[in-house]
Amino acid sequence: MHSSSLANKLKPRLSSLECLVRQTSIRWYRFDNRVQPKGFYCAADYEKNRQFLKSDCKLSAEELRLKRNKLFDLEKKRQSDLVTRIEKITVSVVNPYGNTDESETINLLMNKDISTPYHCSQHIDQMITNRSVVALIDDKTYWDIHRPLVSDCQLRFKHFKEPNPYFANKTYWKSCSLLMGSAIEQAFKDTIDIKLHSWPKPDLNSGSFVYDVYIDLKDWVPKTEELRVFTAMLQKLTLEDIPFERLDVNKELAKVMFEHNSIKSQQIDSMADTNGSDSVTVYRVKDHLDISCGPLIANTSQVGSIHVTAVHQIASHLGSIYRFQGISVPKQLNINSYTFSILRERAAKRNASKFMDISDTKDSQQISEQKSQQNDSKVRQSVNQ
């Protein structure tokens, strides 16, 4: 089905959902041509009529992706339109080339709420632009490369070849999990109920990145050919230079984006509580959207060799939960095929990471810094040998 025909089919629903994008500025909603006897739906009535809305929106997986992307684009434009005047900020890039001389600093005059670390790197050197995975702001806050800067700050670019790239590696692991979720969601037919759940704490010592998924298949054991299909879908993404787009959205809008995934809908409230606000972070890679605490890497071209190695069924009160496991090495790190084959064999073993229930979602993207440094050091040593 062409995107134009999909857009026409979804237009009645998407145009009515535009009101929700405006959040508190517009409090009244009308869905399709069906209204309450007294008139329109108000914000207070939205949750009460959630079941009605679901039954009124029988969409295919492709149509759901189109709907989420439409809402993402509308909210992104709304937030962009809030910047009505250009304000300048000073960004001090410390040791941009990663030399031993920490005193080297480049001061840049950038645009508040518009310029990103990516734009800063473009003013310095293309090499820095290509290798930078994540930014460190004021030596305390890790920042997405494509996330707008909001004030004067000190900035450091982080990459995989640093003496201790523990946070870069953790960011990479989470990004690979999100990409695997994209492949899983698009690999199955619409007749099979698929609900992405979450990925556990990224633990490099486990030997694999993970995504836990509800699949309405009993005792499914994937064949080798099926694992190759998932791997091929991931590898196709890595051949493209697709940015990881970040957008902080109101939790009510996030619930509309993921209203057909009951698991994600429940996670949104927990993540918003963790943030101490009414917002959650949504990431987009190509046409796939997911929620995560972030940060994630800059783009898919930074992903090197990647393979889906195994799928294990795990016990859960939710039913048929399957743990997809994979292994990947950043493109910046050279590794021979024999060493990678050993890593693949290890990554196929059942990952013992805790299954993240709804109540654990607020911690699902975080691990302690001390443990992460220790695990990263072990993996880095094995890669360098």
Integer CA distances (angstroms), 112 to 62, 125, 138, 310, in order = 36, 21, 16, 45
Q: Are residues 310 and 176 in the same domain?
A: yes
Distance in angstroms (rounded) separating the CA atoms of residues 196 and 242: 21
DSSP string, 296-360: --SBGGGEEEEEEEEEEEE--TTS-EEEEEEEEEETTS---HHHHHHHHHHHTSPP-PPP--GGG
Q: Are residues 184 and 135 in the same domain?
A: no
Distance in angstroms (rounded) separating the CA atoms of residues 383 and 178: 23
Q: Are residues 214 and 242 in the same domain?
A: yes
CB-side neighbour CA atoms (13 Å) of 159:
19
Domain assignment present for 114? yes
Q: Are residues 8 and 146 in the same domain?
A: no
Distance in angstroms (rounded) separating the CA atoms of residues 114 and 84: 11
- Domain closes at, from 139, 158, 177: 158
pLDDT score at 222? 92
Domain assignment present for 76? no
Distance in angstroms (rounded) separating the CA atoms of residues 285 and 241: 10
Q: Are residues 125 and 177 in the same domain?
A: no
pLDDT score at 73? 96
Q: Are residues 40 and 172 in the same domain?
A: no
Integer CA distances (angstroms), 300 to 8, 60, 160, 169, 339, in order = 31, 26, 15, 14, 23
pLDDT score at 37? 37
- Domain closes at, from 128, 158, 188: 158
- Domain closes at, from 97, 125, 158: 158
Distance in angstroms (rounded) separating the CA atoms of residues 254 and 277: 13
Could you tell me the residue range of the domain that residue 12 belongs to?
Answer: 3-58
Domain assignment present for 318? yes
Q: Are residues 121 and 145 in the same domain?
A: yes
Task: Give 223-253 pLDDT, tens digit per residue.
Answer: 999 999 999 999 999 999 899 999 999 999 9
Q: Are residues 280 and 353 in the same domain?
A: yes
Tens of pLDDT, residue by residue, the chain (385 residues): 455 555 555 555 544 444 444 443 333 333 433 333 333 334 444 444 444 344 345 678 888 999 999 999 999 999 999 999 999 999 999 999 988 777 899 999 999 999 999 999 999 999 999 999 999 999 999 999 999 999 999 999 999 999 889 999 999 999 999 999 999 999 998 888 889 998 877 777 788 999 999 998 888 999 999 999 999 999 999 999 899 999 999 999 999 999 989 889 889 988 888 877 889 999 999 999 999 988 999 999 999 999 999 999 987 777 789 999 999 999 999 899 999 999 999 999 988 887 776 545 444 444 333 444 444 444 444 444 4
Task: Give 84-108 pLDDT, tens digit per residue.
Answer: 999 999 999 999 998 877 789 999 9
Distance between alpha carbon 325 and the CA centroid of its chain, in Å?
17
Domain assignment present for 81? no
Where do the DSSP E strands lie in 184-292?
A: 194-198, 209-215, 245-250, 279-285, 288-291
Is 129 within 8 Å of 95 (Cβ atoms)?
A: no
**Full-model pTM:** 0.79
Please count the structural domains in the chain: 3
pLDDT score at 318? 74
Q: Are residues 201 and 326 in the same domain?
A: yes
Distance in angstroms (rounded) separating the CA atoms of residues 133 and 118: 10
Domain assignment present for 219? yes
Residues 6+ apart with CB under 8 A from 93: 105, 106, 107, 108, 120, 124, 155, 156, 157
Nearest Cα to Cα of residue 86 among 120, 114, 107, 123? 114
Domain assignment present for 110? yes
CA gyration radius, the chain: 22
Domain assignment present for 67? no
Domain assignment present for 73? no
Q: What angle do CA 315, 320, 326 make, to 5 degrees?
A: 80
